[in-house]
Amino acid sequence: MSPLERKFTLLWVHAIKGSTEMVVEHKFHPSRKWRFDFAHPPTKVAIEIEGGVYVRGRHQRPQGFKNDCEKYFHAGLLGWRVFRLSPNMVNAPTLEKIAAFIRQLPIEN
């Protein structure tokens, strides 16, 4: 788990106030090996932490960007809502908004 993902996990515990647990490294596609950094499967909400912004990490290189677009496209086709967070968005106010959003969604069967 990256430092940003650890930060997310610590902040999430405070944002959720006792509910809405996230699954780490959730495999969401039936045939591909794609995983979300964090997911709430009952509401099909996923969170991707997009690190490496300033060091030209995998997500910022052309092939990595294209791969991510394909992954998010197929996630959308399967009914997932994906929140992509840059490093500066991993903070309490942002996560509290996501937790509130999840709480108001119906649970999928």
Q: pLDDT tens digit string along 41-76?
A: 999 999 999 876 655 656 566 888 899 999 999 999
* Residue 109 forms part of a structural domain: no
Domain limits at 79? 3-103
Partners of 24 in beta bridges: 38
76-96 mean pLDDT: 96
* Residue 20 forms part of a structural domain: yes
* Residue 8 forms part of a structural domain: yes
* Residue 56 forms part of a structural domain: yes
Helical packing angle, 92-103 and 3-16, nearest 10°: 60
Whole-prediction pTM: 0.86
CA distance 33 to 105: 27
- Contact criterion met (CB below 8 Å) for 51 and 59: yes
* Residue 35 forms part of a structural domain: yes
* Residue 80 forms part of a structural domain: yes
CA distance 23 to 27: 10
CATH number at residue 12: 3.40.960.10
For tokens 């997500």, the residue is 59
Residues 6+ apart with CB under 8 A from 2: 49, 51
* Residue 11 forms part of a structural domain: yes
* Residue 51 forms part of a structural domain: yes
Domain count, the chain: 1
CA distance 48 to 86: 9
